[in-house]
Amino acid sequence: MPLSLNGRVALVTGSSRGLGHGIALSLGKAGAKVVVNYLNDRASADSAMAVLSDNSVHAMLVRADASDPEQVEAMVRSASEKLGAVDIVVPNATPDQPQKPIEEYDADFYRQMYEFFVMGPYMLAKAALPGMKGQGWGRIVNVTSEVFHCSVPNFSAYVAAKGGQIGWSRSMASELAPFGITVNTVAPGWIPTERHANDP
């Protein structure tokens, strides 16, 4: 029997292109109403919305910085008002991830990785949890990475942040299970999306 998400509302950050767009489309095809999030590229966001529309997916578009607490809260609030309580959250937004020796990273870059991959999921979950707990059902799916398990060198900032995201997910899975809310991680390998167009 195919997966049915009829009546569910899914919010996928960074979903105007690449992996995020694929996730949003899959959730929408399964019946969920989808919140498409972007920050800078409106043309890609409009294109993503057109694809969703062509596939009969009920979607709304929200411009928001997924690393900004106020914007995240406003995004979840707007989605809940228009579509219903957000009960599926996929923190997918990501900044650039240059590979460098540790001596070439600076502290601000390390903080940026932490903001996106630990604080980002935390802020999204905190904003969506009242709705999830209220209906006794929720799904949080963190997009982690194989880089943590492979201990990839010259990538310490990203690897450390992904390790933190995995640890956060494990703790939250135990904490939220009694409320009917699951927290899982998906660690994809390298995917040939726009982000990786210039990778060797």
The residues of the chain scoring below 70 in pLDDT are: 1, 193-200
Residues sharing a CB contact under 8 Å with residue 90, sequence separation 6 or more, in sequence order: 10, 11, 12, 13, 15, 20, 23, 27, 140, 141, 142, 143
Cα Rg, the chain, nearest whole Å:
16
* Residue 158 is among the residues annotated as catalytic for this protein: yes
Q: Rounded CA gap, 100 and 155, in Å?
A: 6
pLDDT value at residue 188: 83
- From edge to edge, which strands make up the β-sheet containing 33-38? 59-63, 33-38, 9-12, 88-90, 138-143, 181-186
**Domain contains 13:** yes
Domain membership flag for residue 194 = no
Q: Which residue is catalytic, options 38, 105, 110, 158? A: 158
Residue 2 falls inside a structural domain? no
Residue 123 lies in a domain: yes
Vertex 54 angle, CA 40 and 91, to 5°: 40
Kind plus residue range of the DSSP H or E element containing 62: strand 59-63
In a domain, 21, yes or no: yes
CATH number at residue 28: 3.40.50.720
Query: Is residue 200 situated within a structural domain?
Result: no
Given this model, what pLDDT does residue 161 score?
95
- Please give the C-alpha separations between residue 120 and each of 78, 90, 125, in angstroms, as whole numbers: 18, 10, 9
Q: Looking at the chain, how many residues does it have? A: 200
Q: Which residues contact 153 (CB under 8 A, 6 or more apart)?
A: none
19-55 tens-digit pLDDT: 999 999 999 999 999 999 999 889 999 999 999 999 9
Query: What was the pLDDT predicted at 196?
Result: 59
Rounded to two decimals, the pTM is: 0.91
Q: Long-range contacts for 103-109 (Cβ within 8 Å, ≥24 apart)? A: 105/156, 105/157, 109/157
pLDDT at 195: 62
- State the residue for tokens 């109403």: 33
DSSP H or E segment with residue 116: none
pLDDT score recorded for residue 97: 85
List the domain range (segments joined by +) for residue 165.
9-186
Let me know if residue 76 belongs to a domain. Answer: yes
| Phi (first) and psi of residue 92, to 5 degrees | -115, -20
Per the structure, how many domains does the chain have?
1
Structure token digits, residue 108: 């601000």
Find how far residue 98's CA is from the centre of its chain: 20
